[in-house]
Structure 1
Amino acid sequence: MSAAAFDPAKAGRVAATAALPAGMLVLVALMVIPVSPTILDISFIANIMISLAILMVALSASKPLDFSAFPTVLLLATLLRLALNVASTRVVLVHGHEGTHAAGHVIEAFGQVLIGGDYIVGLFVFGVLLIINLVVITKGAGRVSEVSARFTLDALPGKQMAIDADLGAGLLSPEEAKARRQEVATEADFYGSMDGASKFVKGDAVAGLLILFVNIVGGLILGMANHGLSFSEAGGTYVTLAIGDALVAQIPALLLSIAAAAIVTRVASPFDLSGQIGSQFSSPHVWMAVGGILFVLGLVPAMPQMLILPASALAFAMGWQMKRAADNAAAAPEAAEPAADPHHIAWADVSEASACQLEVGYALVSMVDERKGAPLMGRITGIRKQLSKELGFVIPAVKVADDLSLPGNAYRISVAGVIVGEDEVYPNEMLALDSGDLVTKVTGRPCKDPTFGLDALWIPKASQNDAIAAGYTVVDPATVVATHLNNSIIASASELFGLDDAQALIDHLKQHYPQLAANLSPQGYALPRVAALCKALLEERVPLRDFRKIAEAMVALTGQQLGDIELVEAVRQRIGALIVQTIVPSRMPLPVVTFSPEIEMLLNQAVRANPGAEWPFEHGMAMKIVEQIGEAVEPLLLQTRSFALVASPLCRSPLSRLVRATFPDVAVISYLEIPPTKATEIVATIGAEPARLTAAAADQMKDEPHES
């Protein structure tokens, strides 16, 4: 059998199934078959070991049902002890005249060593143990078992009805209700069994007293009548063996009585008995009070000050130690607050389940290693905080990890499992960007800026000042990676937004605008549709900062039969002011790039010919549109001017998808999204070659309409 196929639990059950019948046969054999003193010694030690194990299990149980087999275990342990009593009685009476060693070393040790060889003292010791076991522990445990069984059985119908009520109310699943019923039934059976099992302990104590009497009387008669011993010789030998035998049996019986009492007096707790007691005796005020009382008692002249005063000092020390531990525990959360800052990201704090991931080669580990300053980790913290404010939802944690499969200086950015950026940086060099107004040129390793695609050079740090003087823009490697990560997250923001983020926006809305939130979802729109609209807005760089206005726009459109694309366009028209202010400040006119009337008519005709199509434009026409848009907007992009491409509401959505594929930073808006009070400035018009576009459109109109 392989190691993987081995089941320890199953093996334990099989072993127990085989051991129980064998154990019962051994008990019967001990009662009817004479055994040697050696086997008797081994059996006595095994009895003590089993009793200790039962006691330890009882003390470590969190609740009584954790040791539900205790009544049966108690029965078996009692039978074992009684079988040993019968076997030892036979040995004592048959071989007692040979001396105290005749019954085995265990009985001899208990009869001589533990009681000092004085059997009169042994009788008193046995009597005291018997009183403790029978009168105190066994009687108390039996009373607790009886009361617990009565109350448990009386409460059983109510518990069953409560489970049925919770099941009917949907608070419990059928499987949970079945488990609860099983637990209640097991609890009733347990306390009922313990009520009867406590009688085993009491009967065992009485049996120990009777067996002691039989051993003493029988030994004296046999010693004097059969073996010619005098009364004093017979008494010295047989009484010592009888007391040793009684103590060997009484000590395990006392352990089992303690275990039974501990089980039936347990209160359900997440801790075991030692943990429960320790937690309730850990109050510093208790030990301070104890120390004070002992100190006052020690001042009484007749008292033993040398014992009481040290005890008082010990109590004070325990109380002070507990108070200091409590103060440290109270201060620990305050000390841990900086590490729990949601905006702080450390190498050890990044989440394995993060949707954003930055993998670095082995040469870049120093940029993310806290022990070496981790310059990049601080930048990522700032990026997450800033983008969360700009986009209107919490950007998830960025998982930073080293990847040995990457080249040493390479890094890779992934969003939602998709690689959105990768390049190489050199941690010991600087990146010099060509600003276009260079005085002179510096030498370095030519490359392209990974974020904007500008011409750049990797130069030694020693050449940084020379490059700045020559007109270059110089940035460090951490800034290069951070800027690339920043733009990658912005471009993929819609992939980071999900149902949980939409629910978080609605929950935040409930705190300030509860009626608006109630009419938005689930009354007006299902959560997936709210999330889909937010994702569509993020795809076109429309932030969710003012989610209240977006929600008001959606609520105003409730009841209208709008498709998903139509809903997005209708909401955009109602939040046009929000969209425009993301392009230019409120006081500046909006620079716009427009289409000539002929081009716009062709675009609208293409959309009407393919209603609902995601890509309604014929391929050749689409390429020509992109080409002419590029001719118009590239000068503006090089000048880093803010502007918007304006189209009719009919074709805005498919045109935006077409433009984003090539010019992701160009905003495409419709006329209806521009507020009436917003001044505009036409900076370019697309349509220099309408004849070519007309031919392409004519070709498209000849074909059958198609939908994607």
Structure 2
Amino acid sequence: MKLTNLTQLSVPAGVVGIVLLLVVPLPAYVLDVLIVTNIALSLVVLLTSMYVTKPLDFSVFPSLLLVLTLFRLGLNVASTRLVLKDGYAGHVIDAFGHYVVGGSLVIGLVIFLILVVIQFAVITNGAGRVAEVGARFTLDAMPGKQMAIDADLNSGLIDEDEARRRRKEVAAEADFYGAMDGGSKFVKGDAIAGIIITVINLLGGFAVGMLQMGMSAGDAINRFSLLTVGDGLVSQIPALLMSVSTGLIVTRATAESDMGTAASSQLTQSRTALLIAGAAAIGLAIVPGMPKVPFVLVGSLLLIVAQRIKAAKARETAAAQSQELEVATTPSSDSPEQLIEQMRVPALEILLAPDLVDLVGGGGDGDLLARVRGLRRKIALELGVVVPPVRTRDSVDLPHSTYVVKISGVEVGRGEAPSGRLLALGDSLDGLPGTSVVEPVFGLAGKWIPAELRHSAELVGATVVDRVSVLITHLGAIVDAHAPRLLSREDVRVLTEGVKQVNPSVVDELVPNLLTLGEVQRVLQGLLVERVPVRDLGRIYEALTLRAKVSTDPEGLVEAARGGLGPALAAPYASDGVLRVITLDPTLEHSLVEAIRPADGGAQLLLPPARVDSLLSSLRTQVSQAESGGRQAVLVCAPALRPALRRTVVLSLPTLPVLSYSEVTGAGLRIETVGVVTDVHAIAA
């Protein structure tokens, strides 16, 4: 039989054997072996508890505690049966009853009671309290630990496998401390059972000796009571070891080293403390009546240890200075790997003026890094794009209270966030002190006011925004506007692998058989340019598969992907099931279709500048009229015209959505026309 099979059967067989101890009489020599085994196992558990670096490394301890407690109680029953039946329970119990306590019943009882008090009143009660508090604190801390893991995952600091491992460890830790809270009750119950069993054995042995064997009271006490005390001591010693093991496990507060290493390093960390303790011990030797040899011996030992610590620290200091000198004299490495690392440009970066460094690590909603992680999660859920990790650092070159956002090393946004100030937005800010500014995202008039005037600003109807919210809002707008640029080839690969896990057939058919990752990246960037979310990659890839079999023209692929998304394109612009649209005059639309010409960057409208200005002017008028009525409108046109018209419209109205008739009619929305664009220049001609 293999060793693995033997270890799997050992514990179940042992539990069955423990049950047999309760009902089957044992020979004295077998009892001796089991008692020694019990003491050895308890000692092994104690030493293991001291050498583990963290409690979870000994996660089987609560179950092992129950099994060993049951084993010890089974031995109590077996030994009681032999003591009362034969007046003899093996050499181990006899040695504890006669040699260890000197054959004195009083001494034996006193030692037994002292052991019980140490175990029950000191160790067990303390360990039980620590286990209870540890279980409660561990369960209370679980939500926070889970949120921290999710935050690290969202920020890209860890991958999904590491997050899954940490979540499993958090759950295992909670289960362990919950089990230890109940397991400590086994130790307390074992101590109480030991006292009761010993009292019962004393009374039972006295009765058996006098009533059944006809002994005198002295002979009965001398024979049975000493064996009972020996049995109690044999049981209490492993019980005490298990109780100490329980206390060690639940009080471990470090996961860096075992208990012996941690204790020695921490007790010897202060040379002054050892010097004072050694001098105090030698000083006590001078006191009249005090034994001089023990105090001088211990004091000298402490002084020697303190001196060795001084020498060790001197060597460490010399080694550190030598290393610093070596680093200082060694020329900086210019290996290609290090140069490449220094040349690497972060995809997304925030530079902070020195006085804005307090935004990082502020805790809660005021922590910039935590808010950035939340923003990355929000953008991922809205656009379907995983924003690269945001590098945050300070820069002494920036003006006071200034922050800068860079993409691939190029500045794309700049703003201010003065320390101790809040941004008040509204129309009634003249009565508030502060610096007037224009909010960088929406262009609203605002004023940086002192933080203590928040309530006054809210009373005049202003919207008050903290510094971190201003920066995060600005960063979110920048990321949204530059999402196509931030979508790298590696991001597309990761997204494609995610689709493959749930829809492998689509990915296998599309990549790389029909399109390369670069071509897929170009299609997704084309969708993001028009702020089309790419979350539904499965549907996008299905549409690309059909289109790629006909043509791999980038513009046609983008339009095919839009067609695959269908209703999802128009739904975000609808209100209460109504989509308000601006259409083109049929004559104008027909003339625009005839003006389409192919180009390297896609289809373009070949129109005279005056006619383009007339078209855009009419469109701006219709959009303004719709917005004045509080309505958001979209421009709709023929599918063949949409790409070229959008390239023209974006020059004047970059945020106006341009949809095709097929994208609007397939959304199941009620269409309401709020304007018609006409070509005034063409009519006049």
TM-score (norm 1): 0.48
Q: Which has the larger radius of gyration?
A: 1
